[in-house]
Chain A
Amino acid sequence: QKEVEQDPGPLSVPEGAIVSLNCTYSNSAFQYFMWYRQYSRKGPELLMYTYSSGNKEDGRFTAQVDKSSKYISLFIRDSQPSDSATYLCAMRGGATNKLIFGTGTLLAVQP
């Protein structure tokens, strides 16, 4: 079993839709949870960073962490074609504190 599971998609939505992206994980030691956006042939860009459980909002993006269920989500409101990219969840914590990535979800927002 992978430490971090993420549906690879692809996920296609119409412009303006609400997008929900999710990851599950198995390591209860994870404490820091991140979402990255990666455009084709580019490095990942940090979108959201959350410590422990709870919600965090930044503009059209909302990140949720439920440590009891080992489940994290990223919501994108009023999605735009420019949001089309691969979204990677990542997390770290515990003894090694290494950043572990999900496989990424490819999102396409259709104009």
Chain B
Amino acid sequence: GAVVSQHPSWVICKSGTSVKIECRSLDFQATTMFWYRQFPKQSLMLMATSNEGSKATYEQGVEKDKFLINHASLTLSTLTVTSAHPEDSSFYICSARTDENTEAFFGQGTRLTVV
């Protein structure tokens, strides 16, 4: 399958700081990328969908100003958690697909801990 690389794998940051997570499609061009959040022993919850060159579409209840998403190229999307707080601690996972007729492939996830 196609490869999606997510970086960093884990990060610890202080409350009030911002953290950037990168998602790269290594061997294909990703028209669409998705960002998910997963709490322990729970399923993946879609946070937002981003199309290259367009503004991201956020799911209901997800704060746009807190979770900034940029999809500037066909191989890179970034999620920035701004002014992070302990309740933002979670496992964040991205996925990417070529078009709506193909399946999305997932990155390895980023574990964020805010202290």
Contacts and interface: CB of A to CB of B under 8 A. Distances in A.
Interface of A: 8, 32, 34, 36, 41-46, 49, 88, 97-99, 101-104
Contacts of A102: 43
B111 A41 contact: yes
Main secondary structure of the interface of B (DSSP, over half): strand
Chain B interface extent, by class: 20 to 34
10 contacts: A8-B41, A36-B106, A42-B108, A43-B107, A43-B109, A44-B93, A46-B103, A88-B44, A101-B43, A103-B43
Contact of A99 (B1, B4, B34, B91): B34
Interface of B: 1, 4, 6, 34, 41-44, 46, 49, 91, 93, 95, 100, 103-109, 111
Contacts, number: 41
Main secondary structure of the interface of A (DSSP, over half): loop
Given A49-B103, A99-B104, A43 B43 contact: no
A48 to B, nearest CB: 10
Nearest to A106: B41
A76 to B, nearest CB: 19
A17 to B, nearest CB: 24
